[in-house]
Amino acid sequence: MNNQNQKPLVLFVDAATPLFYIAIKHQENGILCEQQYNHTQLKGEALISEIKKMLVKNRHNVNEVGYLCTTKGPGSLTGLRISMSLVKTMGQILNIPIVCIPTLYALECSYLFSQKSEQADIMTCLTARKNSFYVRFSGNKEDVFKQFSTETLCEKAKDVNIVLWPSGSVPLDVCDKQQANSVIVKLSPDVIFGLCSIKYQNKEYVNYKECQPEYAGKSVAEKNFESK
């Protein structure tokens, strides 16, 4: 990982939520371009070609990327495998580091940035599987989350002001309007780049071997395979 400071670009790729995100930032000139797709608009195998198109359109190439950004989960099992496989492969081929942010924390920060405020008790939610949810409460360390059943989620929602759901998901109707508001939020590439820049400057990055997704448990398929 040599001469990273001489490379002007940072690439953000993410698929941990129901949307695919691609964004490219020039470290001096700001964000050059960003795209968002749902999983019917773009298939995972097309991500690399979209990245190439975006680079070419902005008169850059992949060798100018100094480091990669992504969220590490928890989130979509398939999406995490797609995004992690991509950034790990690029990290290995280009010999550049990867900066990872917990997905729920990234969603919370994206919302707070858009509201220009931090004065709220926030519960950020991602669907894990049927009747199961990944949940983060504001005020905790960035990598702290819990996994709740539908019933527990409904109870916990009574104690917060805002319940965040990622764009593209179908929010569970858990919130009494007198107690909390459900809000749909997208990951903000601007926020992600800011968070990752701080981590990069503090050398809180990993190489492709060390980059691991947070699956928060085994999938149903894995459990069935092991039981046999």
At the topology level, CATH places domain 4-102+187-227 in Nucleotidyltransferase; domain 5 (3.30.420)
Q: What does the domain layout of the chain look like in residue ranges?
A: 4-102+187-227, 103-185
CATH architecture of 103-185: 2-Layer Sandwich (3.30)
- How sure is the predictor about 174, in pLDDT bands with cuts at 50, 70 and 90? low
134 φψ region: left (φ > 0), alpha (ψ -120 to 50), beta (else): beta
> Does the fold of domain 103-185 match that of domain 4-102+187-227?
yes
pLDDT value at position 219?
Answer: 52
The answer to whether residue 225 scores a pLDDT higher than 80 is: no
pLDDT of residue 1: 47
* pLDDT attached to residue 2: 43
Nearest to 104 by CA among 195, 20, 165, 172: 165
Residue 152 phi, psi (nearest 5): -65, -40
Cis peptide before 74 (omega within 30 of 0): yes
- Cα–Cα distance, 123 to 227 (Å, whole number): 35
Q: Which two tokens stand for residue 199?
A: 């981590």
pLDDT digit string, tens, across residues 50-106: 999 999 999 999 999 999 999 999 998 889 999 999 999 999 999 999 999 999 999
**pLDDT on residue 147:** 95
Please answer whether residues 150 and 131 qualify as being in contact, where contact means their C-beta atoms are separated by less than 8 angstroms: yes
Side chain identity, residue 155: E
What are the structure tokens assigned to 12, written together?
A: 């953000």
Q: How confident is the model at residue 220 (pLDDT cuts 50, 70, 90)?
A: low
What's the pLDDT at 223? 54
- Express each pLDDT in 3-51 by its tens digit: 445 899 999 999 999 999 999 999 999 999 999 998 788 877 889 999 9
